[in-house]
Amino acid sequence: MSKKIEKTGSNRVLEVKNLNVEIPVPSGLLRPVQNVSLRVDRGETLCIVGESGCGKSLTSLAIMDLLPSKAKRTCDEMRLLGENVFGIKERAMSDLRGDRMSMIFQEPMTSLNPAYTIGNQLGEALRRHQNVSNAEARDRAIYLLEKVGITAAAGRLGQYPHQLSGGLRQRVMIAMALMCGPDLIIADEPTTALDVTIQAQILHLLSELQREFHMGMVLITHDLGVVARIADRIAVMYAGQVVETGTAEQIFNAPTHPYTRGLLQCIPIPGKTKRGERLGAIPGIVPSLVGHMDGCHFASRCSEVQARCQTGNIELAPAKQKGHLCRCVLAQSGPSSELETGEAAV
């Protein structure tokens, strides 16, 4: 086992306040991430959920400082284990990446190099950050490959990525992300490309490892089933913003934002929706995020839209329970709101 840098202090692994990303595009300035605030504690899983293009991946890349070069990020605060990591030198950042925080991508081949063996790549992931011998690195690699459910792990070290199936590659990726014993792991759609049974196995594994190693985890997905099962807390994103955040129970049992409620009504739920019954729908399309947008981003599709939704900046404000926040004028009108009567349950 490798030595682990002891960090003192709080349980807050990641704290991000008002993260913004801007990308110049031919039609103007794209603002795919707008004032996104997130926090993750040790041992906690935060799921970022939202539909394609809402800014989930760019949010995670901005945290890792891996945005495309033409993209610009700003934020009020970004702390890893209490220490500022925003605007620090690339050298210092790459020391943290893979060591204190690591990322698992949807497509394992974005992180695995086809030209090197599994053993080489796993070992390198550790040796880059820690002064360990080859034998120590090899032991750690075998230990983690076994942890992620790969049998005869020692024999796999000499194999190349293309010799493994998709599910195995994703397991190797997970092992690689864990080599240095990170405090934070960000997984962007880690199982979307996999078979249903393999997806369940990998997610089961991830949540076990996260608990065992007591890491903070940010899991990005658009699959509400996955979110419900794995998340402690959830951030629902729509068109570049977090529109609702709260515990898994709050989001699934008392969804408050009209977009969250719409999403939950769209999915067939075995045992709940009747076979062949019409599903809910969210008519309309996602607005363009080029340029400045006034009012609620969901206004063009919301069935409860009002005049006051169209102007100004709608804040993420407390909903019914502690820790539950919602970006909607209806949730902000205080206890007299109709939302308080609990009609929102899905």
The encoded tokens of residue 199 equal 């997806």
| Comparison of 66 and 266: residue with beta carbon closer to other proteins | 266
Q: Does 314 bind ligand SF4 (CB under 6 A)?
A: yes
Which stretch in 66-74, 198-206, 210-218, 294-302 sits in contact with ligand SF4 by CB under 6 A? 294-302
CA distance 69 to 19: 17
- Judged by beta carbon distances under 5 to 8 A according to partner kind, the member of ligand SF4, other proteins, ligand ATP, none in contact with residue 326 is none
CA distance 105 to 128: 20
Of 211, 155, 137, 214, give the one whose Cα is nearest residue 183.
Answer: 214
Task: Render the burial of 78-101: b for 16+ CB within 10 Å, e for the rest.
Answer: bbbbeeebbeeeeeebeebbbbbb
- Judged by beta carbon distances under 5 to 8 A according to partner kind, the member of Mg ion, ligand ATP, ligand SF4, none in contact with residue 54 is ligand ATP
Q: CA separation (Å) from 198 to 79, 146, 268?
A: 34, 17, 21
| Comparison of 54 and 174: residue with beta carbon closer to ligand ATP | 54
CA distance 261 to 254: 9
Residue 88 CB contacts under 8 Å (≥ 6 apart), including other chains = none
- Judged by beta carbon distances under 5 to 8 A according to partner kind, the member of ligand SF4, other proteins, ligand ATP, none in contact with residue 195 is other proteins
Q: Does 235 bind other proteins (CB under 8 A)?
A: no
Please, what is the minimum distance in Å from the beta carbon of residue 270 to ligand SF4? 29
- Judged by beta carbon distances under 5 to 8 A according to partner kind, the member of Mg ion, ligand SF4, ligand ATP, none in contact with residue 282 is none
| Comparison of 93 and 305: residue with beta carbon closer to ligand SF4 | 305
What mask of x and - would describe binding to ligand SF4 in positions 177 to 216, judged by CB under 6 A?
Answer: ----------------------------------------
> Interface residues for other proteins in 178-217 (CB under 8 A)?
195-201, 203-204, 207
What angle is formed at CA 252 by the lines to CA 224 and CA 19, rounded to 5 degrees? 70
Radius of gyration of the chain (CA): 21
Strand ranges for the chain from DSSP E: 12-25, 28-41, 45-49, 72-74, 77-80, 83-84, 101-104, 184-188, 216-221, 233-238, 241-247, 317-318, 325-326
- Work out which of 70, 91, 162, 278 binds other proteins, going by CB under 8 A: 278
CA distance 5 to 80: 14
* Residues paired with 28 in a beta bridge: 25
- Answer whether 220's CB lies under 8 Å from 40's CB: no
| Comparison of 119 and 240: residue with beta carbon closer to Mg ion | 240
What mask of x and - would describe binding to ligand SF4 in positions 254 to 293, judged by CB under 6 A?
Answer: ---xx-----------------------------------
What mask of x and - would describe binding to Mg ion in positions 22 to 61, judged by CB under 5 A?
Answer: -----------------------------------x----
**Residues making contact with Mg ion (CB under 5 A):** 57
Given the rule CB under 6 A, which residues bind ligand SF4? 257-258, 296, 298-299, 302, 304-306, 309, 314, 328-330
